[in-house]
Structure 1
């Protein structure tokens, strides 16, 4: 990725980044490059300000990522801080407390059941046959939680060994019945329009759209008749115009943040190794989820956007070796996509906020 010059982002050469920390109800606005305190600042509403960086520059309206508290002072004299070394100016203001949206899983079985067809998101080719039924799978961590599901005290011994032990293979799709996980739709091969896909000869066996060559899924390692279609490469066509489900898709980073959030919830770890799909599980990038829930706006992202702030590095010695590192596997194409997102968002931050020690700082969007 090339370097992003912030002077190309705005007409007056000044970029901005505003961040809401909902847990402490604080909004921080950073502008750069600046060598003087802005000449004018007016609050237009609880979430909009009007600012001029110099007396002869064009004024601009900035949408903040949250609402400022009614009693919060907002003046250049009281609140604005200028750092002449980094040529950045920052403004901190108290925000109103807000109820964050409940965490929802993207493209659940209910939404898939209400669509006319499941398509390749890149070219619109229909991938699944008609009359499919969809069921949501339990959490990705359901098997690991079995140790905590007891019908008796943990030290109690049964007098027999049951022959119906639950295994990871207990939940498999069947003909015309797809199982929906957090990041994939699992189907049997016969339910895929076979003439519209092609399967690679090498392991892992990737499933690509025959029309645009986009990697839409992967063949299961244990059962060659099962295919997992990646949700981030699927789009849904509504049954009718009046249907409340529109043609929709979610980007890859939404599903990556969903995976990270679920692992954080179950394992209470915030350090991750991102690996390419392979038998070796070679970690190519390390992530530290510093804050899993912020909102931000910028001259690039002008509408309030929910995100997680992450630190990332390719150097394993930067990680805290005393903290468990959970591995997240992604296909190579998805891994490259996430690298590009991390680098691009890093360059969109103020230069003074792009690094934390030896870590690089970036943002990943979430629901």
Structure 2
């Protein structure tokens, strides 16, 4: 087929469950140029007077060229075209991003993800156990006809335990391992008296800060238990060398897999991201969790339409990534607009 456009970039989103794909050719330059698009079962080719771009598909994906339909130009985006595919289901077993390295085998080392600083060295994990959901206490009250038997028995890990929540690890820190030292921080508290005045009273600071880069890694829950956030900590077997992953790539992988796991386990697709103060910063609506994104990057001067994938793609090659697609709405002043957002997933 032929169309008037000057795409420098090819983007293909394959839906495994629907056996369909959306092809997007990047925003054309002003005036456009002749373009020939050729589809084959295992490849896609775009020819322009400036050159030829060919996109090779993964072995598990095959296009059905005769099914092409819905060609249209979307201003600000480019040419859109839908086509049927024959895509094998992703039968790779989903390994939890929270415990993929926290297996109860051998010794593990906890690292700060931002700078690679060792947080806990050579910890023997005998038990790696998932925690119940956040509202499990309320459910117990509904199930029991007598007072909650677990009210006075909080779930705290023992010396060689690692408990895993939706967004954190709980670890019991022994005195001979690195552990945070709470600092005294002045806070204002109201003193009831005939004179309305404020008085400084010391309060323990429970923040756990990286010694090297000063990033907040978590918080102390008790004298022995520490909570580490999954976006700040990497756990690796002690005998394995640690390599720093780009920050934005690591965070998007963690969030993407968290959405996949929670949507599968709890049959939900709406989420919120909150700060340490409980304030909601962003609303997420999971659209697709079965997407395979295939993209061929064109000229480095081209407009980047999918910036969140830039960290994982090489400028001189085409790449395929399992991804989730979400609709998000920032809860920040003057930014309450809907956006589409793709996140690379680590389910492979």
Taking a change above 3 Å as real, the CA distance of residues 84 and 92 of structure 1, as seen in their structure-2 partners, is closer
CA drift at 1:286? 1.4
Q: Structure 2: how far apart are the matches of 1:50 and 1:140?
A: 50
Taking a change above 3 Å as real, the CA distance of residues 110 and 314 of structure 1, as seen in their structure-2 partners, is closer
| DSSP 3-state at the match of 1:257 | helix
Q: Say whether residues 1:310 and 2:305 are aligned partners.
A: no
Q: Match for residue 105 of structure 1?
A: 96
1:16-95 aligned at under 5 Å gives the runs 16-34=10-28, 35=32, 38-41=35-38, 43=40, 46=42, 48-52=43-47, 54=48, 56-64=49-57, 67-69=60-62, 72-73=64-65, 79=69, 81-83=71-73, 85-86=75-76, 88-95=78-85
Q: Match for residue 141 of structure 1?
A: 133
Q: Structure 2: how far apart are the matches of 1:192 and 1:93?
A: 60
Q: 1:59-112: per-residue Cα shift (whole Å, max 9, x none)? A: 122244785446x1269xx65824275572223221113222332202527536
Q: Structure 1: how far apart are the matches of 2:166 and 2:229?
A: 10
Q: Structure 2: how far apart are the matches of 1:97 and 1:50?
A: 19
Contact 1:18 1:28 in 2 (8 A): yes
| DSSP 3-state at the match of 1:292 | strand
Q: Match for residue 365 of structure 1?
A: 344
CA drift at 1:24? 0.8
Higher strand share: 2
Q: Match for residue 285 of structure 2?
A: 288
Taking a change above 3 Å as real, the CA distance of residues 179 and 247 of structure 1, as seen in their structure-2 partners, is farther
Q: Match for residue 168 of structure 2?
A: 184
Q: Structure 2: how far apart are the matches of 1:272 and 1:240?
A: 37
Contact 1:208 1:217 in 2 (8 A): yes
CA drift at 1:18? 1.2
CA drift at 1:185? 2.5
Taking a change above 3 Å as real, the CA distance of residues 25 and 181 of structure 1, as seen in their structure-2 partners, is same
Taking a change above 3 Å as real, the CA distance of residues 191 and 59 of structure 1, as seen in their structure-2 partners, is farther
How many residues end up aligned between the 2 structures? 296
Unaligned runs of 5+ in 1: 1-11, 318-342, 344-356
Taking a change above 3 Å as real, the CA distance of residues 180 and 62 of structure 1, as seen in their structure-2 partners, is same
CA drift at 1:173? 1.3
CA drift at 1:274? 1.8
Q: Structure 2: how far apart are the matches of 1:37 and 1:26?
A: 27
Taking a change above 3 Å as real, the CA distance of residues 67 and 89 of structure 1, as seen in their structure-2 partners, is farther
Higher helix share: 1
Q: Structure 2: how far apart are the matches of 1:358 and 1:33?
A: 22
Q: Match for residue 210 of structure 2?
A: 209
Q: Match for residue 352 of structure 1?
A: none
Q: Structure 1: how far apart are the matches of 2:223 and 2:167?
A: 19
Contact 2:112 2:210 in 1 (8 A): yes
Q: Structure 1 stretch 257-266 or stretch 30-39: which is displaced more?
A: 257-266
Q: Structure 2: how far apart are the matches of 1:363 and 1:310?
A: 6
Taking a change above 3 Å as real, the CA distance of residues 185 and 138 of structure 1, as seen in their structure-2 partners, is closer
Q: Structure 2: how far apart are the matches of 1:361 and 1:105?
A: 25
TM-score, with length taken from structure 1: 0.65
Unaligned runs of 5+ in 2: 1-5, 186-203, 298-309
Contact 2:129 2:162 in 1 (8 A): no
Aligned-residue CA RMSD in angstroms?
A: 4.0
